[in-house]
Amino acid sequence: NDVDMFGEMNTVAKVHKVARMDPTAMDADTTLYLAPMGGARALGAENRVGSLEVGKKADLIILDLDQPHLTPMYHPVSHLVYAARGADVIHSVINGRIVMENRKIISLDEQAILAHMGEIRRQIITS
């Protein structure tokens, strides 16, 4: 429950392999394709999001691939599915707008949000 899409892709691919008792089931290319497109289809939003195409919202991330757990990289797609982590994301663009740059959220007051969440947590604990 850490909301890490890379971890989710890893789990989905491996669960399918075990369920089918087939190491070739749900290969990395299929998994990476389904992560954005499958979600977009499930929400009925495949005409607006899910892939980089003219007329769709431009959402993308840039990863820091110069990390020990991502080295050496022989198959980039496989690395994204099985080795990358959300913490590897250094820049994020949502609907064409930069929201995170150099791992710092620039579109929101992160400290204010964390303080508010702490306040809510204390209220829950004391109630």
Residues 6+ apart with CB under 8 A from 57: 48, 49, 94, 95, 96
Provide the residue ranges of all domains of the chain, joining segments of one domain with +: 5-126
Q: What is the pLDDT of residues 52-91, one digit of tens each?
A: 899 999 899 999 999 999 999 999 999 999 999 999 999 9
Q: How many CA atoms lie within 13 A of 71 on its CB side?
A: 5
- Model confidence, pTM: 0.80
* Check whether domain 5-126 has CATH 2.20.28, yes or no: no
